[in-house]
A = this chain, B = another copy of it.
Amino acid sequence: MEYTITKFAKLAGVSSRTLRYYDEIGILKPARINSSGYRIYGPEQVNQLQQILFYRELGMELEKIRNIITSPTFDPAEALSEHRTKLLAKRTKLNKMIASVDQSLAAAEGRITMSDNEKFEAFKQKLVDDNEEKFGEEAREKYGDETVDKSNQKVLGMSEEKYAEVNRIEMEMKEALSKGMAIGDPASEPAQKAADLHRKWLTYFWDKYTKEAHAGVAQMYVDDERFTAYYDHQQPGTAEFLRDAVHIYTGMNS
């Protein structure tokens, strides 16, 4: 079972150049060199190449692959785990890029009016940034790429009238919320009305509504200080109160 370089390459589905390169960088040496200087590969090389290709498939650099397969003290699991972290970071970066592309596509296609209302622009910018930078990673983990992508697109595609509606609803919600807080009971009618308005408000950004996600967001208002600060601006404890109201509203308080 000995092969010259092209036979070996075809067997493994790589190019002969690749094999010469692997020889050059010392990651895969041929079994021997014959009298004419030809590289001769054997079954042992078949196995080793399989290994190399396996790690290569995972997007790992040849340098690291060499570490794994040559150094006996090297821990493959650790290397893999480290590699996994890298891949996750890449994915996060890609997600951000995609969100940005969606954003500028929306602008390019004229779905959003390029300014004339700066607040409006800033508002959308902020929403998308929030979506991505602040809790984009977590949200994508929990709700999925499509959900977050669509949410971004929905925001970016929003007209100024819609924007006005959103603003009105948010104001109504805050009003109901402060009434509820005056009563002090998140199960009270104004508090539940606030929770319902909050649901309405969310549907402007979300593609589909679920109680679980609603409750999750409400919890986040408490957990993430940036949101807490936003809601507690007028009155401390508002974020927490809203969360309680929403948890009752969604029935996720048990």
Is A114 in the interface zone, CB < 8 Å from B? no
Is A252 in the interface zone, CB < 8 Å from B? no
Q: CA–CA, A54 to B107, complex, Å?
A: 14
Q: Is the interface of A mostly helix, strand, loop or mixed?
A: helix
Q: Are the CB atoms of B104 and A80 closer together than 8 Å?
A: yes
Residues of B within 8 A of A144 (CB): 140-145, 147
Is A184 in the interface zone, CB < 8 Å from B? no
Residues of B within 8 A of A102 (CB): 84
Interface bits A207-241 vs B (CB < 8 Å: 1, else 0): 00010100000000000000000000000000000
Is A77 in the interface zone, CB < 8 Å from B? yes
Q: Are the CB atoms of A77 and B145 closer together than 8 Å?
A: no
Residues of B within 8 A of A101 (CB): 58, 80, 83-84, 87
Interface bits A85-100 vs B (CB < 8 Å: 1, else 0): 0011011001101101
Nearest-CB distance from A244 to chain B (Å)?
A: 23
Q: Are the CB atoms of B94 and A91 closer together than 8 Å?
A: yes
Query: In chain B, what residue has the closest Cβ to A210?
Result: B212
Is A146 in the interface zone, CB < 8 Å from B? yes
Q: Are the CB atoms of A95 and B105 closer together than 8 Å?
A: no
Interface of chain A residues 133 through 173 with chain B (CB within 8 A): 140-147
Q: Are the CB atoms of A77 and B108 closer together than 8 Å?
A: yes
Interface bits A50-86 vs B (CB < 8 Å: 1, else 0): 0000100111000000000000000011001101100
Which residues of chain A have a CB within 8 Å of any CB of chain B?
54, 57-59, 76-77, 80-81, 83-84, 87-88, 90-91, 94-95, 97-98, 100-102, 104-105, 108-109, 140-147, 210, 212
Q: Mind listing 21 A-B residue pairs with CB under 8 Å?
A: A54-B104, A57-B100, A58-B100, A59-B94, A59-B97, A77-B108, A80-B101, A80-B104, A80-B105, A81-B105, A83-B101, A84-B102, A84-B105, A87-B97, A87-B98, A87-B101, A91-B95, A91-B145, A140-B144, A142-B144, A144-B144
